[in-house]
Structure 1
Amino acid sequence: MQEKMEQRAFVVALLLVSVAFALLLEPFFTPIFWACAITVIFFPVYRLLMQRFPHWPNLMALLTLVLCVVLVVIPVLVVVTSFVDEAASLLQKAQSGQIDLSKQVEQVRSAFPGISALIERLGMDFEQFKERILSGLMNAGSFIAKNAIALGQNTMNFFLMLGLMLYLTFFLIRDGHWLVELLIRALPLGDERERLLLDKFAEVTRATIKGNLVVAITQGTLGGLIFWVLGLPAPLLWGVAMTLLSLLPAVGAAIIWFPAALFLYATGDVVKASILMAFGVGVISLVDNVLRPILVGRDTKLPDYLVLFSTVGGLMMFGISGFAIGPLLAALFMAFWQIFMREFMGSDSLDDNGPAEAGEDPLPDTE
Structure 2
Amino acid sequence: MSTDKIQHRTFIVLLIMVSLAFFALLAPFFGAVLWAGIFAIIFMPLQNRMLARMPKRPTLASLCTLLICIVVAIIPLITISLSLVHEGTTLYQRIQSGELDFGAYIDRVQEAAPRLQALLAQIGVDFSEVRTWLKSAAATASKGLARNAVNIGQLSFTFLISFGVMLYLLFFFLRDGTRLMRQIRAAIPLSDAHKQRLFKKFGEVVRATMKGNVLVALVQGALGGVIFWILGIQGALLWGALMAVLSLLPAVGAALIWAPVAAYFLLTGHIWQGVVLVAFGVGPIGLADNILRPRLVGQQTQLPDYLILVTTLGGLALIGISGFVLGPLVAALFIAVWDLSLHEFGERRPQEPTTEDL
Please say if 1:296 is aligned against 2:297. Answer: yes
Following superposition of structure 1 onto structure 2, how do residues 54-73 of structure 1 map, counting pairs within 5 Å?
54-73=55-74
2:102 alignment counterpart: 101
Measured in 1, the distance between the counterparts of 2:14 and 2:81 equals 45
The question of whether the paired residues in 1 share the 8 Å contact of 2:311 and 2:328 is answered with yes
Please say if 1:136 is aligned against 2:162. Answer: no
2:199 alignment counterpart: 198
Measured in 2, the distance between the counterparts of 1:266 and 1:138 equals 25
**Aligned with 1:55: secondary structure?**
coil
**Aligned with 1:317: secondary structure?**
helix
The question of whether the paired residues in 1 share the 8 Å contact of 2:225 and 2:239 is answered with yes
The question of whether the paired residues in 1 share the 8 Å contact of 2:209 and 2:328 is answered with yes
Measured in 2, the distance between the counterparts of 1:257 and 1:136 equals 18
Following superposition of structure 1 onto structure 2, how do residues 216-227 of structure 1 map, counting pairs within 5 Å?
216-227=217-228
1:351 alignment counterpart: none
Measured in 1, the distance between the counterparts of 2:95 and 2:4 equals 74
The question of whether the paired residues in 2 share the 8 Å contact of 1:119 and 1:129 is answered with no
1:251 alignment counterpart: 252
1:14 alignment counterpart: 15
Measured in 1, the distance between the counterparts of 2:311 and 2:142 equals 28
Measured in 1, the distance between the counterparts of 2:14 and 2:103 equals 64
**Aligned with 1:345: secondary structure?**
helix
2:128 alignment counterpart: 127
Amino acid at match of 1:241: L
What is the Cα deviation at residue 291 of structure 1?
0.4
The question of whether the paired residues in 2 share the 8 Å contact of 1:245 and 1:252 is answered with yes
**What is the TM-score of this pair, normalised by structure 1?**
0.91
What is the Cα deviation at residue 141 of structure 1?
2.6
Measured in 2, the distance between the counterparts of 1:294 and 1:35 equals 26
1:283 alignment counterpart: 284
Please say if 1:328 is aligned against 2:334. Answer: no
Measured in 1, the distance between the counterparts of 2:102 and 2:229 equals 21
1:48 alignment counterpart: 49
Measured in 1, the distance between the counterparts of 2:140 and 2:258 equals 21
Measured in 2, the distance between the counterparts of 1:115 and 1:176 equals 60
Unaligned runs of 5+ in 2: 350-358
The question of whether the paired residues in 2 share the 8 Å contact of 1:216 and 1:243 is answered with yes
1:357 alignment counterpart: none
Q: Deviations over 1:269-290 (max 9, x none)?
A: 2111211111111110111000
Measured in 2, the distance between the counterparts of 1:346 and 1:110 equals 70
What is the Cα deviation at residue 226 of structure 1?
0.7
What is the Cα deviation at residue 115 of structure 1?
4.1
Moved over 4 A (4+): 121-124
The question of whether the paired residues in 2 share the 8 Å contact of 1:84 and 1:144 is answered with no
1:313 alignment counterpart: 314
Number of equivalent positions: 348
Following superposition of structure 1 onto structure 2, how do residues 343-362 of structure 1 map, counting pairs within 5 Å?
343-346=344-347
CA distance 1:332–1:118, shift in 2 (3 Å): farther
Pairwise CA RMSD of aligned residues?
1.7
The question of whether the paired residues in 2 share the 8 Å contact of 1:225 and 1:235 is answered with yes
Measured in 2, the distance between the counterparts of 1:282 and 1:123 equals 34
What is the Cα deviation at residue 121 of structure 1?
4.5
**Aligned with 2:248: secondary structure?**
coil
Measured in 1, the distance between the counterparts of 2:250 and 2:224 equals 16
2:267 alignment counterpart: 266
**What is the TM-score of this pair, normalised by structure 2?**
0.93
Measured in 2, the distance between the counterparts of 1:318 and 1:100 equals 33
What is the Cα deviation at residue 130 of structure 1?
0.6
What is the Cα deviation at residue 124 of structure 1?
5.1
Measured in 1, the distance between the counterparts of 2:89 and 2:198 equals 45
The question of whether the paired residues in 1 share the 8 Å contact of 2:102 and 2:138 is answered with no
